[in-house]
Structure 1
């Protein structure tokens, strides 16, 4: 009838099919789990400086670029996003603005990876931007930015899901305050 090799093949094929069905059910169930995350980002100060950013800045010839330094506060409770299929959260603050030449611009100001539910309540004050805030046009004149908190849920099995807080009120970038070389 069936050899030992045929029987082993049938058992393995059934086992793999059952495992994939189980993983598919896990991935789907993680998408429909209820959560109520809340978060906000506020900018305490924005300082625009004219000059060359640093030795890693690409444009060595020009010394009249404008870059912004921000001090912000972040309040978020993302603990409801952790469940049995959450491996980690990637949380980041984004400034969104538009210019006449580029209708949609997004710059990440700060990010963090959260691996435990106990670390998912974020209360940070006096936080400086982690990444350079430099515009494509090299000038920050007449720019009004909305700042919001975004998060990505990295699951053990399934699809990454994304979310964001409501954007803040528009923050205006002031004129340059000084020259830095």
Structure 2
């Protein structure tokens, strides 16, 4: 006869073994039920507008950097990614652009190697969304403003060419490993970041304010003159 403790250990061991096997089967079958190729999904993104302006990274910083604000159109149907083992899908849009010479040299110095003749592109996420159900998996965004402004490690991003927008996603299952995916159709045409936005309007405003101040001063002097 086995003691109560030994029987409880046997039952617990059998339960954990069955749970592990069931979890493994769920993870494997859930992975193979996803689309094998991201190109089978209906995904497209188009650039609508991009502007580059100078600003500070935070309130107390005196350093000013160049930031790009992007607007885009997005059409995406991610419903095939939702299976019985899908908890949620994390959708994100990346802006890819060639790095500057200074940022590539800085990365090479950190690694202790010579600068690469063909450094990889820089990637920055401009928009993301968590989709929790199949009903929310169809997106139609028009002239959507990016959630995040982007900048470069060099602090300059204006006049960069061959930039693209790319749609990507991450499927998070109830049980199993995370899977990432992209689509060749979910890439925009190449574009260039424009020159820095002009700030000439501010100078005109200052000149107008100075003129108004001078006029007000002349009126005050005229009213203070003694009567004849």
What is the TM-score of this pair, normalised by structure 2? 0.72
Q: Distance in 2 between matches of 1:57 and 1:153?
A: 36
Partner of 2:50: 46
Residues 60-84 of structure 1 deviation map (CA, whole Å, 9 limit, x = unaligned): 2233x22111110111010000010
Q: Distance in 2 between matches of 1:40 and 1:93?
A: 11
Change (3 A) 1:13 1:175: same
Partner of 2:137: 120
Partner of 2:154: 137
Q: Secondary structure at the match of 1:71?
A: strand
Q: Secondary structure at the match of 2:163?
A: strand
- Once the two structures are TM-superposed, the CA of residue 177 in structure 1 deviates from its matched residue by 2.2
Which deviates the most, 166-175 or 71-80? 166-175
* C-alpha contact 2:97 2:160 (8 A) present in aligned 1: no
Partner of 1:70: 70
Change (3 A) 1:77 1:57: farther
- Once the two structures are TM-superposed, the CA of residue 57 in structure 1 deviates from its matched residue by 5.8
- Once the two structures are TM-superposed, the CA of residue 143 in structure 1 deviates from its matched residue by 3.2
* C-alpha contact 1:89 1:113 (8 A) present in aligned 2: yes
Partner of 2:115: none
Aligned residues: 177
Gapped regions of structure 2 (runs ≥ 5): 105-118, 203-228
After TM superposition, where is structure 1 displaced by more than 4 Å over at least 4 residues in a row? none
Q: Secondary structure at the match of 1:29?
A: helix
- Superposed CA RMSD: 1.9
Q: Distance in 2 between matches of 1:106 and 1:142?
A: 13
Equivalent of 1:148, from 157, 163, 166? 166
Gapped regions of structure 1 (runs ≥ 5): none
Q: Write out aligned runs for 1:69-88 (5 A).
A: 69-88=69-88
Residues 130-174 of structure 1 deviation map (CA, whole Å, 9 limit, x = unaligned): 012111122223332111111111111110101112232211111
Q: Distance in 2 between matches of 1:61 and 1:112?
A: 32
What is the TM-score of this pair, normalised by structure 1? 0.89
Structure with the higher fraction of residues in helix conformation: 2
Structure with the higher fraction of residues in strand conformation: 1
Q: Distance in 1 between matches of 2:145 and 2:73?
A: 9
